[in-house]
Amino acid sequence: MKPCERMTMLLNKEIPDRMGLFEQFWPETIPNYWVNEGYPEGEDPADVFEFDLDRTGNWLKTESFPGAVEIIEEADDWHVIKDGRGAMLKKWKHKSGTPEHIGFTVIDQDKWAEYREPLLSLDRSRYDAAVYRERLEQIRSKDRLAVCGNMGFVELLRATLGDMVWLPALLTDPDWIHDINSVYLAFFRTHYAALFEEAGLPDAFWLFEDLGFTNGLWCSPQTYQELFLPYYKELVGFFRDYGLPVLLHTCGDIRQAVPMIIEAGFDCIQAMEAKAGNNVVEFGRQYGNQISYMGNIDVTVLNTNDRDKVREEVLGKLKALKEMRIPYVFHSDHSIPPDVRFDTYCYALELLREHGNY
């Protein structure tokens, strides 16, 4: 079975010949560490590990003012920038890490009006159709599923307003949240319709949307139902009209959000952070084949680099999912950091090859 055929079946909540495979890595994991541990330098991990899907990259530029980056403060290892959303963020220069929120320009509806206007009309400079088309061809030439993606509504709220504004606004100004979500829904429809017409359809769409943090959701399930679910349904429906399955990436403890995710129509949930309390086996028992699953292999076990612990983690989940015949794509519970050794990851894949057939 071709990788794209396998992934298509899994996203349709069907059972193919074996479980799927995909992974994401911290930017420094492969070039700074694994190349010194036996990884073939310069090679694409999708080729090295024989992934079943690959991402097109080339995200739509969702900033109100794309490219408007201003350096506010700078040191040898970090800098504070003001981006095209008006957000001031402190970022490491030479390593990965979550940016520190320093401040935000859009803190009320008056400021939002300034940043809202540029999002209302089609702007073809927000994507590169030629690069996107070339990437589609590259992925499909290797029979992999080609997936494009972008940030979701929660991520855009966080990136534009900051946590100290958007979270209280869920309760104090829900009409403002509805307006922002409706603007971005129209933005996605307008720009993806143009991109698809100009450069062709992908095989699936991936929405990146962290719905929570380690201890739970950002807000109550009811608030998600009222302020976000209608927009998820509309966006998923838009891509479904093109015949595209839709994957959802979400971090944090999202156990209370899974019913909403299924109701919204998402076809696959990823990455199900184990360290935040999620367990793909429990999800499989509770929700069965209502959705397919990608991830949940605990990085805090992988980075022990202890083969016995890795074996217990991987086989415990693979065997249970196989027994229940749950559509599953092997993936970590977020991405692979550099403290996971190259041979440890290869060992985890050996276990998948041995025990991942349905």
Chain Cα centroid distance, residue 328: 16
13 touches 267 (CB < 8 A):
yes
Provide the pLDDT for residue 93.
87
**Closest to 49 (Cα-Cα) out of 25, 28, 22, 31:** 22
Long-range pairs for 131-134: beta carbons < 8 A, 24 or more residues apart: 131/57, 131/58, 132/56, 132/58, 132/195, 132/199, 133/199, 133/200
CA 28/CA 48 separation, integer angstroms = 17
188 touches 120 (CB < 8 A):
no
**Count of C-beta atoms within a 10 Å radius of residue 347:** 17
108 touches 172 (CB < 8 A):
no
Provide the pLDDT for residue 2.
98
- Which residues, 6+ apart, have CB-to-CB distance to 266 below 8 Å? 207, 232, 236, 246, 247, 248, 291
Task: Report the CATH fold assignment for 3-60+127-355.
Answer: TIM Barrel (3.20.20)
CA 84/CA 65 separation, integer angstroms = 5
214 touches 253 (CB < 8 A):
yes
Provide the pLDDT for residue 10.
98
Residue given tokens 């679910």 in the structure block: 229
How many residues are there in the chain? 358
The tokens for 122 are 């089609």
The tokens for 321 are 């999912």
CA 256/CA 258 separation, integer angstroms = 6
CA 300/CA 258 separation, integer angstroms = 23
* H helical segments located in 200-270: 221-227, 229-241, 258-264
Residue 80 pairs with which residues in a beta bridge?
A: 73, 90
Provide the pLDDT for residue 206.
98
Cis-peptide into 186, omega within 30 deg: no
Provide the pLDDT for residue 291.
98
Tens digit of pLDDT at every position of the chain (358 positions): 999 999 999 999 999 999 999 999 999 999 999 999 999 999 999 999 999 999 999 899 999 999 888 999 999 999 999 999 999 999 998 888 889 999 999 999 999 999 999 999 999 999 999 999 999 999 999 999 999 999 999 999 999 999 999 999 999 999 999 999 999 999 999 999 999 999 999 999 999 999 999 999 999 999 999 999 999 999 999 999 999 999 999 999 999 999 999 999 999 999 999 999 999 999 999 999 999 999 999 999 999 999 999 999 999 999 999 999 999 999 999 999 999 999 999 999 999 999 999 9
CA 338/CA 232 separation, integer angstroms = 34
Provide the pLDDT for residue 58.
86
Q: Where are the domains of the chain?
A: 3-60+127-355
**Closest to 67 (Cα-Cα) out of 83, 80, 81, 79:** 83
Q: In this structure, are strands 268-271 and 246-250 parallel, antiparallel, or unpaired?
A: parallel
Q: Considering the entire predicted model, what is its pTM? A: 0.96
240 touches 263 (CB < 8 A):
no
Radius of gyration from C-alpha coordinates of the chain: 20
